[in-house]
Amino acid sequence: MVPHLVTALTGPISELEQRILESMPAIERWFRLEWMEHTPPFYCSVDVRNAQFKVAPVDTNLFPGGWNNLTAEMLPLAVQATMAAIEKICPEARNLLLIPENHTRNPYYLANVAQLQRIFRAAGLNVRIGSISPEITEDTTVTLANGEELLLEPVNRTKHRLQVKQFDPCTILLNNDLSAGTPGILEDLHEQFLLPPLHAGWSVRRKSQHFKAYDDVAKSFGKMLGIDPWLINPVFAQATGVDFAQGQGIEALQESVNAVLAKIRRKYKEYGITEKPYVAIKADNGTYGMGVMMVQDAAELDSINRRTKNKMSVIKDGQQVSDLLIQEGVATIESIDGATAEPVVYMLDRYVVGGFYRTHASKGAEENLNAPGATFLPLSFEPGHVLDAKGKPGEALPNRFYMYGVIGRLAMLAASYELERTNPEAEVY
């Protein structure tokens, strides 16, 4: 189920939201049957955009940071979900090694690592933090903003196992998205569970693969619910071999942009939507909101400036961009204290365990909010026993976060499809 969390949603319930709320029993049964056939990613976060006429995921992160943005009252949900996940993977698990990103001096990121450590310890695991950064050659204590200390230890590799000093884990959790490639130290591990698997890393993973899987999930869910899958699914296309700096592949990219815009216009006409459609052009691999631009017309790509070309050419860890995802732009109707907002849903195993709002005071409803200057507003639980003044006596207010939890879980299910299809060890028939 989905926790009853406060959202910034105000005003009347849309037709889509009403349909989802009314169909809760059917939706939960559908998910239950899906999880009988597929294994959820260990954890993930999903960026959701609500344009009122449609609600869709725009990004799915399989190595989520930002756990420090969840409120303390949400931690019991995360602990319970962790217990459920660990029991399925390794019921006798005792020791867990957490491997963070290599940028070890980012205080916000390290607060996220400390939060993960708290969650897994509360789930009954001994947790140590092992760094694979070449900069960490000895035990390193980092003091966080709140005064808490975090011990980073260099990871040692035996023939087939990872360890830190006097600590032999049965489970290794990556909070490192492997953007720079898969380091050899993580390969060919025996008798240790590595979560998520290496092929979930950005050196292998592609957003276009994820949204192909999401396309299948949305069609199946839409058929079950009796809705047009487009209402929960952004149109997308892929462009390869693009070099912004050299001006190569731009015409093919423009053709893809025009094709996506044409599909959106047809849907807008069908539903009587008067807004002007736009697309987000994103690096097909990568995270942190890098390598993203918005366009309303393919002709805009003829005259982008040098700064934009540089932004679109290189992403995290200096990785060059050549493959791009062209994704339908989904505007957000939500704002908090005058700042544009979008919900981010957090999940462990198959459970929604919380979320927060990403807000940006200087970005518009159609822009990328995952950019410098973004702030994070933790979601809290709805106060208990709230009554709807306009409803029947004793009738509880609807869980308006439920819709976001459904979209998040659809994206998580798509990630499970994606990982199954890209698993290099899967049998091919």
Q: Which of 56-70, 115-129, 202-216, 283-297 has the lowest mean pLDDT?
A: 283-297
Return d(Cα 75, Cα 32) in angstroms, integer. 24
33-47, pLDDT tens digit by residue? 999 999 999 999 999
What would the mean pLDDT of 272-290 be, rounded to a whole number? Answer: 86
Helix H or strand E segment including 151: strand 149-154
Residue 195 has what pLDDT? 94
Q: For residue 156, how many C-alpha atoms fall within 13 Å in the half-sphere facing its CB? A: 10
Check pLDDT > 70 for residue 385: no
Check pLDDT > 60 for residue 315: no
Given pLDDT bands bounded at 50, 70 and 90, which one contains residue 110?
very high
369-380, pLDDT tens digit by residue? 998 899 999 999
Domains and CATH numbers, the chain: 1-62+206-234+330-423 (no CATH), 67-204 (3.40.50.11280), 237-328 (no CATH)
Check pLDDT > 80 for residue 175: yes
Check pLDDT > 50 for residue 428: no
327-345, pLDDT tens digit by residue? 999 999 999 999 999 999 9
In the chain, % of residues over pLDDT 70: 93
Return d(Cα 217, Cα 258) in angstroms, integer. 25
For residue 333, count other CB atoms closer than 10 A to its CB. Answer: 19
Residue 387 has what pLDDT? 40
Q: Which two tokens stand for residue 226?
A: 């009796």
**Which of 130-139, 141-150, 260-269, 276-285 is modeled with the greatest confidence?**
260-269
What would the mean pLDDT of 297-323 be, rounded to a whole number? Answer: 75
Check pLDDT > 90 for residue 149: yes
Residue 383 has what pLDDT? 78
What would the mean pLDDT of 238-262 be, rounded to a whole number? Answer: 90
Residue 303 has what pLDDT? 84
Residue 386 has what pLDDT? 45
Residue 155 has what pLDDT? 96
Residue 319 has what pLDDT? 66
Buried b (16+ CB within 10 A) or exposed e, 236-255: bbbbeebebeeeebbeebbe
Return d(Cα 45, Cα 290) in angstroms, integer. 17
Residue 390 has what pLDDT? 44
Residue 181 has what pLDDT? 85
Check pLDDT > 60 for residue 395: no
Residue 318 has what pLDDT? 58
Residue 119 has what pLDDT? 97
Residue 113 has what pLDDT? 96
Please indicate whether residue 402 or residue 310 has the higher confidence score (pLDDT): 402
Asked if 235 contacts 58 with a C-beta cutoff of 8 angstroms, the reply is no
pTM: 0.94
Residue 302 has what pLDDT? 86
What is the average pLDDT value for the chain, to the nearest integer? 90
Check pLDDT > 60 for residue 388: no
Check pLDDT > 90 for residue 12: no
Return d(Cα 257, Cα 80) in angstroms, integer. 44
Residue 391 has what pLDDT? 42
Return d(Cα 403, Cα 31) in angstroms, integer. 14
Please indicate whether residue 426 or residue 5 has the higher confidence score (pLDDT): 5
What would the mean pLDDT of 64-71 be, rounded to a whole number? Answer: 95
Given pLDDT bands bounded at 50, 70 and 90, which one contains residue 404?
very high
- Which residues have CB under 8 Å from 2's CB, separation 6+? 352, 399, 401, 402, 404, 405, 406
What would the mean pLDDT of 354-366 be, rounded to a whole number? Answer: 96
Asked if 172 contacts 97 with a C-beta cutoff of 8 angstroms, the reply is yes
